[in-house]
Amino acid sequence: MAELLIQIDQVATLRQSRKMEYPDPVAAAIMAELGGADGIVAHLREDRRHTQDRDVRILRKVVQTKLLLKMTVSAEMLGVALNVKPDIVILVPEKREQITTDGGLDLMVHKTTVSETVATLKNSGIPVGIFIAPDPEQLKLAHQCNTDIVEIHTGGYAEATTSAKRSQILSKIVDAVKLAIRLKLKVHVGYGLGYDTIKSFQGLNEISRFCVGHSVVSRAVLVGMENAVREMRTLIRDL
């Protein structure tokens, strides 16, 4: 059965909106684990707009499942990862004008620097993946970067406004998952997945992990983090 990793950055976004000490994303992570999460995801951005260095340090101490750190390819972030030593690193694109990460890393442009970062992390014993679009050329380049994992961007599917467009993008995601497996890559999927859209991945057993954030945190506002995670875990169990 695929694992469920909960991204807690939206909790940090709420905290940072008022520059308060609450709500604490670390506390949210603990509650998510109590609800059955198989891991916690935190994206430490260079501009520190939501998750902070303090959060990552404490998460490393308290997370009992897996801690996945999302980060851009930079010397600063590489230093953080080597110091914190998360269980997994996922390399993501990052632009200051973006509200959130809204696309995959373009390996046609960044292959050299990504390959160097992958090698450094792997030499330090940290499994590393790349967040990419469901595109066969990007997948082949990811394989050439010697990564362990690809996280396939599902935002196009989650945000599609017509059934035809949704079907078209889902087909690309399925093809990307199949190709990744042929390339001996572990497959994560994530971005924009919710309680309804997750059901479209039924039968796609090649996916090892679903990374879900905003929808679960939003649901948690109404029913609590433990319940929100349990509901998503049940849906994934039934895929």
Q: What is the pLDDT of residues 79-114, one digit of tens each?
A: 999 999 999 999 999 865 555 556 799 999 999 999
| Number of domains present in the structure of the chain | 1
First-last CA distance in the chain: 8
Residues of the chain with pLDDT > 90, as a percent, come to 95
Interval 172-196 mean pLDDT: 97
Which pLDDT does position 95 carry in this prediction?
67
Residues of the chain with pLDDT > 70, as a percent, come to 97
Mean pLDDT of the chain: 95
Give the C-alpha separation, 130 to 169, whole Å: 20
DSSP letter for each residue of 89-155: EEE----TT-SS--S---HHHHHHHHHHHHHHHHHTT--EEEEE-S-HHHHHHHHHTT-SEEEEE-H
Helix/strand/coil for 68: strand
Which pLDDT does position 94 carry in this prediction?
81
pLDDT band at 25 (very low <50, low <70, confident <90, very high): very high
Give the C-alpha separation, 52 to 15, whole Å: 11
Q: Which residues contact 84 (CB under 8 A, 6 or more apart)?
A: 56, 57, 60, 69
Is 153 a residue whose pLDDT tops 70?
A: yes
Interval 181-202 mean pLDDT: 97
Render pLDDT for 120-133 as a digit per residue (tens, 0 to 9).
Answer: 999 999 999 999 99
- Looking up residue 223, the CATH number of its domain turns out to be 3.20.20.70
For residue 102, what are the domain limits?
3-237
Which pLDDT does position 135 carry in this prediction?
97
pTM, full prediction:
0.95
Question: Apex CA 111: angle with CA 106 and CA 116, to 5°?
Answer: 135
Is 40 a residue whose pLDDT tops 60?
A: yes
Give the C-alpha separation, 236 to 166, whole Å: 20
